Amino acid sequence: MLEDVLLAYSINSNASIFPYGHGLINRTWKIEDGKNNFILQKINTQIFKHPGFISENIHAIAIFLEHHYPAYFFLTPRKTPSGKDLVFIKEEGYYRMFPFIENSHTIDVAENTSQTYEAAKKFGELTKLLATFPANELKITLPDFHNISLRYKDFLHAIQSGNKERITKANELIEFLESQKNIVDEFEKIQSSNAFKLRVTHHDTKINNVLFNTAEKAICVIDLDTLMPGYFISDVGDMIRTCVPAVSEEENDIAKIYIREEIFVAVAEGYLSEMCNELSSEELNSFVFAGKFMIYMQALRFLSDYLSNDAYYGSTYEDHNFYRASNQAQLLKLLIENEKKFSAIVSDIAKNNI
Ligand code: ADP
Ligand code: GN1
Ligand code: MG
Would residue 35 count as lying in a domain?
Answer: yes
Residue count of the chain, please give it: 354
For a mutational test of ligand 1's pocket, the pick from 106, 109, 123, 249, i.e. the residue with the most ligand atoms closer than 8 A to its C-beta, is 106
Domain match, 82 and 146 both: no
Task: Pick the ligand that lies closest to the CA of residue 210.
Answer: 1
Query: What is the number of other CB atoms lying within 10 angstroms of the CB of residue 308?
Result: 17
CA distances from 232 to 34, 146, 154, 187, 188 (A): 42, 11, 23, 12, 15
Would residue 107 count as lying in a domain?
Answer: no
Domain match, 183 and 296 both: yes
Instruction: Give the count of domains, the chain.
Output: 2
- Between the CA of 70 and the centroid of ligand 2 the distance, in Å, is 30
- Between the CA of 143 and the centroid of ligand 2 the distance, in Å, is 14
What is the pLDDT, as a whole number, of residue 13? 86
Ligand 2 atom index nearest CA of 298: 14
Residue ranges making up the domain that contains 228: 113-353
The C-alpha angle with vertex 192 and arms to 186 and 194, in degrees rounded to 5, equals 115
d(Cα 157, Cα 308) in Å, to the nearest integer?
10
Domain match, 135 and 224 both: yes
Ligand 2 atom index nearest CA of 241: 14
Ligand 2 atom index nearest CA of 313: 15
Ligand 1 atom index nearest CA of 104: 25
* Cβ-Cβ contacts under 8 Å for 340 (sequence gap 6 or more): none
Contact 198 CB / ligand 1 (< 6 Å) = no
Query: What's the CATH number where 90 sits?
Result: 3.30.200.20
pLDDT tens column, 58-77: 999 999 999 999 999 999 99
Query: What's the CATH number where 190 sits?
Result: 3.90.1200.10
- Between the CA of 46 and the centroid of ligand 3 the distance, in Å, is 17
Q: What is the DSSP string of 238-255?
A: HHHHHHSBSS-TT---GG
What is the pLDDT, as a whole number, of residue 274? 97
Domain match, 172 and 288 both: yes
Domain match, 149 and 88 both: no
Residue numbers in the chain where pLDDT is lower than 50: none
Contact 209 CB / ligand 1 (< 6 Å) = yes
d(Cα 206, Cα 235) in Å, to the nearest integer?
9
For a mutational test of ligand 1's pocket, the pick from 108, 223, 242, 248, i.e. the residue with the most ligand atoms closer than 8 A to its C-beta, is 223
Domain match, 163 and 296 both: yes
Rounded to the nearest 5 percent, the helix, strand and coil shares of the chain are 50, 10, 40
What is the pLDDT, as a whole number, of residue 180? 98
d(Cα 194, Cα 226) in Å, to the nearest integer?
23
Would residue 89 count as lying in a domain?
Answer: yes
- Between the CA of 22 and the centroid of ligand 1 the distance, in Å, is 8
Looking at 100, 135, 162, the residue that finishes a domain is 100
What is the pLDDT, as a whole number, of residue 352? 87
Residue with the smallest CA separation from ligand 2 atom 19 is 25
d(Cα 127, Cα 129) in Å, to the nearest integer?
6
Ligand 1 atom index nearest CA of 105: 16
Contact 226 CB / ligand 1 (< 6 Å) = no
Would residue 127 count as lying in a domain?
Answer: yes
Contact 77, 85 (CB under 8 A): yes
- Between the CA of 223 and the centroid of ligand 1 the distance, in Å, is 7
